[in-house]
C-alpha cells in the first residue's frame, strides 16, 4: 500500500520544475475560469484572466497568464496531452532557464503582436469587436513553438497521429500554420492567428537568440545558423527567391542595429554555429578541419627530407668527393663512416 501511495509522488517528483509548474498553473487557472463561468451570469467577462485587447493594457500580466486558461474541457485535455510531455523533453535537453525563456517569449510576444493587430484593425475599421469581442487564451502559440523546436532537434523523426496518420516532425509546423490560415480566412481570427505568430516568434528565438548549453571556442553560442533551419526551408521552392531577399534585408538591418547576439564562438566560426545537440556538430566540424590541416602538413612533410638532402649536398659541394668516378656504383658512405675513412687515409700518409 505504501508503494502504491508513493508511486504518484515519485512520478511528480521526476517531472522537471518548469514543466511541473507550467502544468499546475494551466490546470489551476483553467479550473478557476470554469468556476467563474459557472457562478456568473450571461454577461461573463474575465479580462484579468484572458487577453482582451481593449482591456489588457490595464492587466498586463494577461499577456502571459492568458495561456494558462483553456476555455473548454476539450482544449484542456488536448493541452495536457501534448504540452507537458513536450516541455519535459525540452527541459531535460535545454535546462530549466532556457526552457522558461522559450515558453515566456513564445507566448508573450505572440500575444503582443495579436494585441497590436487588433488595435490596428479597430483604428482602420472602427469596429469595437476587435477590442472587446475577441479573447485570446490557450496555448496554441506554445504548441506551434514546440513543433518548431522539435523540427530543429529531430526533424526526420516519424510520429503517428490519432493512430492512423504518419508524418515526419518537420512537416507538422507548416501543417498547423496552414490550418490556422484557413480558420482565419473563414472568420475565426481569435485565437487561431496566434499560431502564425507563435511559429514566427519561436523560429526567430531558436534561430538567433537561444543560448546553447554546450559551447566551443571559449564563449557562448547563440541560435542555430545552419542552412537546414533557414527561413526558406519552411516554404516551397517556387517562393524561395523573394523569401531569401526579404530575410537577407531584415537580417542586415538587425545586424546593423546590433539586435542579434553574437558570441565568440560564432565569430570564430564565421557567424556559423551548427546546433542543436550541443557542441558535438561544431566539434566534429573543427575536428574535420584539423584532420585536413594535418593531412596537408604531412603531405608537405614528405618532400622535406629531399629538400634537406639537396640543401646538404649543395652546402658540402666545396669538399672533394670521397670516392672516384669509377666507384659510383658503390654504396654511398654513411656520415658515421666518414671520420673513419679520413683516419685511415691519415694513417696511410
Residue 96: φ, ψ to 5°: -70, -40
Residue 157 or residue 309, greater confidence: 157
User: For the chain, where are the alpha helices, taking DSSP H only?
Assistant: 2-14, 17-39, 62-65, 73-94, 96-125, 129-132, 140-153, 172-186, 189-204, 240-256, 264-268, 280-301, 304-315, 338-348
Domain assignments of the chain as residue spans, ordered by start: 214-295
Cβ atoms within 10 A of the Cβ of 267, count? Answer: 11
Give the tens place of pLDDT for each residue, 225-239.
Answer: 888 898 988 988 899
Share of residues in the chain with pLDDT > 70 (%):
70
pLDDT for the residue numbered 167: 86
pLDDT for the residue numbered 13: 75
The CA distances from residue 228 to 48, 154, 225, 332, in Å, are 41, 12, 9, 62
Give the tens place of pLDDT for each residue, 173-201.
Answer: 999 999 999 999 998 999 899 999 999 99
Prediction pTM value:
0.73
Give the tens place of pLDDT for each residue, 207-224.
Answer: 999 988 655 555 567 888
Mean predicted lDDT score pLDDT of the chain: 78
Band of pLDDT at residue 44, cut at 50, 70 and 90? confident
State how far the Cα of 144 lies from the Cα of 51, in Å rounded to an integer: 19
**C-alpha cell at position 307:** 629538400
State how far the Cα of 213 lies from the Cα of 347, in Å rounded to an integer: 78
Amino acid at each position: 500500500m505504501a508503494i502504491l501511495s508513493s508511486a504518484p509522488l515519485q512520478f511528480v517528483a521526476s517531472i522537471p520544475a518548469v514543466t511541473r509548474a507550467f502544468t499546475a498553473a494551466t490546470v489551476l487557472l483553467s479550473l478557476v475560469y470554469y468556476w467563474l463561468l459557472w457562478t456568473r451570469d450571461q454577461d461573463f467577462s474575465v479580462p484579468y484572466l484572458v487577453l482582451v485587447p481593449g482591456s489588457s493594457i490595464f492587466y498586463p500580466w494577461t499577456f502571459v497568464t492568458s495561456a494558462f486558461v483553456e476555455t473548454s474541457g476539450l482544449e484542456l485535455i488536448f493541452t495536457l496531452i501534448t504540452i507537458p510531455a513536450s516541455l519535459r523533453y525540452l527541459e531535460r535537453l535545454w535546462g530549466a532557464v532556457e526552457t522558461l525563456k522559450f515558453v515566456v517569449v513564445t507566448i508573450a510576444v505572440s500575444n503582443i503582436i495579436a494585441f497590436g493587430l487588433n488595435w490596428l484593425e479597430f483604428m482602420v475599421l472602427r469596429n469595437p469587436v476587435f477590442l472587446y469581442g475577441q479573447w485570446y487564451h490557450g496555448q496554441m502559440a506554445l504548441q506551434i513553438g514546440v513543433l518548431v523546436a522539435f523540427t530543429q532537434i529531430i526533424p526526420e523523426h516519424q510520429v503517428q497521429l490519432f493512430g492512423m496518420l504518419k508524418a515526419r516532425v518537420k512537416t507538422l509546423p507548416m501543417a498547423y500554420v496552414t490550418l490556422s490560415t484557413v480558420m482565419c480566412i473563414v472568420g475565426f481570427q481569435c485565437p487561431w492567428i496566434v499560431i502564425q505568430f507563435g511559429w514566427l516568434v519561436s523560429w526567430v528565438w531558436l534561430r538567433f537568440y537561444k543560448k546553447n548549453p554546450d559551447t566551443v571556442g571559449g564563449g557562448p553560442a547563440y541560435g542555430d545558423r545552419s542552412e537546414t533551419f533557414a527561413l526558406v526551408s519552411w516554404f516551397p521552392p517556387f517562393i524561395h527567391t523573394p523569401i531569401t531577399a526579404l530575410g537577407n534585408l531584415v537580417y542586415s538591418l538587425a545586424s546593423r542595429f546590433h539586435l542579434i547576439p553574437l558570441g565568440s564562438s560564432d565569430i570564430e566560426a564565421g557567424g556559423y554555429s551548427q546546433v542543436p545537440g550541443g557542441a558535438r556538430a561544431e566539434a566534429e566540424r573543427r575536428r574535420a578541419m584539423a584532420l585536413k590541416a594535418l593531412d596537408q602538413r604531412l603531405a608537405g612533410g614528405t618532400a622535406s627530407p629531399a629538400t634537406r638532402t639537396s640543401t646538404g649536398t649543395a652546402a658540402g659541394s666545396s669538399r672533394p668527393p670521397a670516392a672516384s668516378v669509377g666507384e659510383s656504383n658503390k654504396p654511398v658512405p654513411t656520415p658515421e663512416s666518414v671520420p673513419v675513412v679520413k683516419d685511415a687515409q691519415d694513417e696511410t700518409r
